[in-house]
Amino acid sequence: MLKTILSSALLAGALITTSATMSFAGDAKGDWVRPNGASKIRISSCGSSLCGKLIWLREPRNDTRNPDAAKRDRPLLGVQIVQAMKPTDKENQWKGKVYNAEDGKTYTGFIELTSANALKLEGCVMGGLICKGETWKREQ
């Protein structure tokens, strides 16, 4: 009887340990596709942060809405749009800056790995009070 109880306890402990180690480990690095399929972004390390640059555009264009007139003639391909993302207290979430080439503005930004193949990006104003975002899919 005692042997059965001990065996059950050991098995339960092993299952709990296995479940904990199988939990989702966040690695946001890789190539990501926007929901509309118009662009791909590569997230990689930049020092102790994560950054992301445009690596493909369906319709390549210049950075015409950039507030810096000297940058308006540069191609968007290769531009870092996810900048200096540092881990937050929330698991699988980073905070930094996001450059939106569609309006030429840089916002406080968050990226959050919601699954192994989904990365939620948000740009926020008013100290994070108002945020807008989308979920990117990992390129397979």
State residue 66 phi and psi, 5-degree precision: -65, 135
Judged against a pLDDT cut of 70, whether residue 112 lies above it is answered with yes
Q: What is the CATH number of domain 25-138?
A: 2.40.128.520
At 25 the pLDDT is 54
* pTM of this structure: 0.80
Residues 6+ apart with CB under 8 A from 118: 135, 136, 137, 138
Model confidence over 27-82: pLDDT tens digits? 999 999 999 999 999 999 999 999 999 999 999 999 999 999 999 999 999 999 99
